[in-house]
Amino acid sequence: MKIDLAGRTALVTGAGHGFGRAIAVGLAKVGATVFACDILDDELPETAAIAGPSCHIRRLDVTDAEAIRSTVREIEAAGHGIDILVNNAGGVLGQVGRPIEEISLRDWQGIFDVNLTGAFLTAQALAPGMKARRFGRIVNISSGAGLGISLTGIQAYASAKAGQIGLTRQLAHELGPWNITVNNVAPGFVRSNPASERQWHAMGEDGQEKVLQGIALKRLGTPEDIANAVLFFASEHAGWISGQVLSVDGGK
């Protein structure tokens, strides 16, 4: 199976490092023009350097609806109709697991804003152009936490990722008549960024071994494993697949 995305344009959020960087690089390698976006704009040049000349970078806060619309308008005005959207931006915003009675509304809402509302806003901004071209691929990056429980113990994270899966299924039915597919990749635990590295080391040897023993393949995956799933959903090979959640977790 060969994936060729030549002539396609993709927008990837959260592309400064980790999954987003691997996805942006992977899309560029198979021929797509990529707009790698992140609020961490100091990390984006490295993504572009790895991905090559077909990768362009933009600072973007996915919780800012006007910034998203402005970025989309700029890209489209330059002649790039965005065919592929990868909603990867998210995370726990530096939070750690705490009892529910200690969670402030601000902490709860912040995680929802970046993980769920951000995916809604970017899809909302790109849907009109995809409808006009009668083609689109939207791939949301959730988490195993959205299908079960979160290793972090963060209530908002598990809830927001579960909500993103619901959004995926709903948009698949809403946008399907325009030949727009909407799918979801749910990664297992991967050491992909500073936050996951801190979490891994905080587990200690016993906790790390428990995680590994809960995986059928008895090893952690890589950001490239997640990127490969995205490339499939973005390709013509997945043209009749929509509303689906693919767990990329080594087997649970």
CATH of the domain at 93: 3.40.50.720
Q: Is residue 196 part of a domain?
A: no
Range of the domain at 51: 9-190+223-239
Concatenated DSSP letters for 134-195?
A: T-EEEEEE--GGGTS--TT--HHHHHHHHHHHHHHHHHHHHHGGGTEEEEEEEE-----SHH
Rounded CA separation 196/202 (Å):
10
Q: Is residue 248 part of a domain?
A: no
pLDDT higher than threshold 90 for residue 216: yes
Q: Is residue 115 part of a domain?
A: yes
pLDDT higher than threshold 90 for residue 89: yes
The mean pLDDT of 201-214, rounded to a whole number, is: 92
Q: pLDDT class for 195, splitting at 50, 70, 90?
A: confident
pLDDT higher than threshold 90 for residue 150: no
How far from the centroid of its chain's Cα atoms is residue 250's Cα? 18
Instruction: Find, among 9, 180, 26, 177, the residue nearest to 80 by Cα.
Output: 9
User: What token pair was written down for 182?
Assistant: 């909407």
Q: Is residue 3 part of a domain?
A: no
The side-by-side arrangement of strands in the sheet containing 136-141 is 55-59, 33-38, 9-13, 84-87, 136-141, 180-187, 245-248
The position carrying tokens 């393949």 is 217
* pLDDT at residue 78 in the model: 95
pLDDT higher than threshold 90 for residue 177: yes
Rounded CA separation 225/70 (Å):
32
The mean pLDDT of 220-239, rounded to a whole number, is: 98
Q: pLDDT class for 215, splitting at 50, 70, 90?
A: very high
Give per-residue pLDDT as tens, 38-82. 999 999 999 999 999 999 999 999 999 999 999 999 999 999 999
* pLDDT at residue 206 in the model: 93
Q: Is residue 213 part of a domain?
A: no
Nearest 10 degrees: Cα torsion 40, 188, 122, 49: 40
* pLDDT at residue 115 in the model: 97
Q: How many domains, the chain?
A: 1
Q: Is residue 17 part of a domain?
A: yes
Q: Is residue 145 part of a domain?
A: yes
Element (H, E) at 25: helix 18-29
Q: Is residue 178 part of a domain?
A: yes
Beta partners for residue 33, in sequence order? 9
